[in-house]
Structure 1
Amino acid sequence: MYDLGDIVEMKKAHPCGVNRWEITRMGADIKIKCTGCGHVVMMTRREFDKKLKKVLVKKAKED
């Protein structure tokens, strides 16, 4: 699955040409930020699950 701070790849690329997004907020809605241009998008968890392709980088857990 995915968690806060993970870098994910979506099915469609962003118009800036980069397809890497960082998850910045999780709850009923999920906020992601483009790692290329910094554009922020907020969507429902259901919509995010449909558009997610794969998790590229998992954030290291702090113990």
Structure 2
Amino acid sequence: MERKQFGLGDIVQMKKQHPCGTNAWKVIRMGMDIRIKCTGCQHSVLMPRLEFEKKMKKVLQSARESDGSEQQG
């Protein structure tokens, strides 16, 4: 199985909707555990990397895309 690609600061969509009504989360910590923050109510959740990769559906907005326009050489 191919590992999902995501990075620090990315906005990701999870398989299940959060009780506040949104489905978008921001990755705020990466390591053995991943901490994500709900973009709707700002609630944060810490979960093991493998569990996060199973529950993540897709990357909605990459942090690299938004930073790319600022870094011109």
Q: How does 1:1-63 map to 2 (within 5 A)?
A: 1-60=5-64, 61=67
- State the alpha-carbon separation in 2 of the partners of residues 32 and 59 from structure 1: 14
C-alpha RMSD of matched pairs (Å): 1.1
- Structure 1 gaps of 5+ residues are none
Shift of 1:50: 0.4
Q: Percent same amino acid at aligned positions?
A: 59
Question: CA-to-partner distance for each residue in 1:13-43, whole Å, 9 max, x for gaps?
Answer: 0000000000000000000000000000000
TM-score (norm 2): 0.82
Higher helix share goes to which structure?
2
Q: Which runs of 4+ in 1 moved over 4 A?
A: none
Larger Rg over CA atoms: 2
Name structure 2 gaps, 5 residues minimum: none
If asked which structure has higher relative contact order (CA below 8 Å, sep 6+), I would say 1
